Copies of this chain bind each other. A is one copy, B any other.
């Protein structure tokens, strides 16, 4: 029988025993953010957690509890905080959470950590949080700690994208609540997807700048930035297969497994 990968479902003696083997520990970075009328607010929690669970199972790793709140949604990548249901944190807040959790994991004996990001806007606060943690850990005398930080969607074959987008891939930034996320949600939490509500007002045509306040009409009214039509669980499986295989390979290489 396989062991659980859920770090927080272990008792402390079991946690101590698992950590003694120096496993890869995953920290999924999520968000509570609008994802159009056909997807729930928790897409960015479900997807990186789902990927992390699979890769952890593959590598005998552990998955720490997912951060459910992320950096504030931005118009050009997530529609923006003006959409109902967006519960974003300030950058300093998120960086401190990541700094604290990373430091505590390292002080618990973790030496191989992977931050699996599922929300584009988290990328930079996560870089900062990790950098602050590395600085503090050096001062605490911990020098053999290795951490990685990545967006799960970057672990995909060009050929898979070509198969999914016969007319050309619009790029990850616009892929908010669109074909990739919708297909993966159909794979992992079909009960939370309503394909009948997929809108057709995209894709967004953003200017090459940010503006405060946001000009009305710039973001598609639905909150979907590209297209979600044609999403299927099968396509979600193609993506998940790539994510798990490529990410596992990268981690094996980086951690010398």
Residue ranges of A at the interface with B (Cβ–Cβ < 8 Å): 6-13, 15-16, 19, 32, 34-42, 45, 64-69, 72, 74, 81, 83-93, 95-97, 99-101, 104-105, 108-109, 123-125, 127-128, 130-132, 134, 138-140, 146-151, 154-155, 192, 194, 197, 207-213, 215, 223, 250, 254
Nearest CB of B to A36, in Å? 7
Q: Are A87 and B69 in contact (CB under 8 A)?
A: no
Nearest CB of B to A5, in Å? 13
Q: List chain B residues, Cβ under 8 A from A147.
A: 211-212
Q: Are B64 and A87 in contact (CB under 8 A)?
A: yes
Q: List chain B residues, Cβ under 8 A from A100.
A: 69, 88-90, 93
Q: Are B105 and A87 in contact (CB under 8 A)?
A: yes
Q: Are B91 and A91 in contact (CB under 8 A)?
A: yes
Given known contacts A10-B40, A93-B97, is B84 in contact with A211 (CB within 8 Å)?
Answer: no
Q: Are A9 and B192 in contact (CB under 8 A)?
A: yes
Q: List chain B residues, Cβ under 8 A from A6.
A: 42
State the CA gap A132–B66 with chains docked (Å). 25
Given known contacts A208-B154, A208-B155, is B87 in contact with A197 (CB within 8 Å)?
Answer: no
Q: Of all chain B residues, which has the CB nearest A16?
A: B84
Q: Are B91 and A45 in contact (CB under 8 A)?
A: no
State the CA gap A81–B37 with chains docked (Å). 43
Q: Of all chain B residues, which has the CB nearest A251?
A: B209
